[in-house]
Amino acid sequence: MDLAKRVAAREETARKAREQYTYRQTVVIEELSAGGRGGGAKAGEYREVREVIFSPAGERTEHMVGKPFNGLVRLRLTDEDFRDIRDVQPFLFTPDQLWLYETRTRGDEVTDDGIDCWLLAVRPRQVHQGMRRFDGMFWVDKRDYSVVKSEGVAVPQILSRKEENLFPRFTTFRAKFCEHWFPVYTHSNDELQFSSGAIRRRMTIKYEDYRRFGAESTVTFEETKK
């Protein structure tokens, strides 16, 4: 059994299905004082809300709800951060991605809510400057090869004399919409070791109000435990 190919085929059907849905995405990034697993006091916050909608002509597009709020003090959000929010945190491992990644089965595990899964490690074959890739683990439902949870980090980390841009580990949970699993919640709480000192960065991304465009649909939640 080539687990990676079966997962990729299932991910492609999920991608095509998700493209027929509108949803709201809320991003909150908090800057905390370093120290301790949970971090210290909040020093600053970034918040934005976007809606993925369809135009009257039926074209899928993003719409910012209000203005983003940026009250971060030391953290600086970059183009890479926003690319990761769009492409890496909700990463779908579709067939066009297969040649870019090495995969290895790491056994199996039952999730907290009772889904029997294979563990599939996924890492980029190569990482070059300008790329954004996922490096981590998938929890794959044994019943239909759907990814129900992912955990990892966006790579590469960027370290040079002119630039220092570090990225946190994160976990993305999915929920079942009809027969497909879509991202619903991303969480990260990681201490980033900058040369100027450690900063704890806590992030949540919520993907809410999934609605199938042009039709009523039934949503079945089988969300993995956060």
Asked if the structure places residue 172 within a domain, the reply is: yes
Domain assignment present for 134? yes
> Domain tally for the chain?
1
CA 112, CA 109: separation in Å to the nearest integer?
9
224, part of any domain: no
Q: What string of pLDDT tens digits covers the 226 residues of the chain?
A: 599 999 999 999 999 999 999 999 999 999 997 665 666 788 899 999 999 988 776 677 888 999 999 999 999 999 999 999 999 999 999 999 999 999 999 999 999 989 999 999 999 999 888 899 999 999 999 999 999 999 999 999 988 777 889 999 999 999 999 899 999 999 999 999 998 888 999 999 999 999 988 654 444 445 454 4
Q: Is 220 part of any domain?
A: no
Domain assignment present for 222 = no
Q: Does a structural domain hold residue 226?
A: no
Q: b/e map of 71-91 (b: 16 or more CB within 10 Å)?
A: ebeebebeebbeebbeebbbb
Cα–Cα distance between 167 and 156 in angstroms, integer?
8
* Domain annotation covers residue 223: no
Residue 74 structure tokens: 């030391």
- Identify whether 150 is part of a domain: yes
Q: Containing domain of residue 90, as a range?
A: 3-212
Q: Give the pTM.
A: 0.89
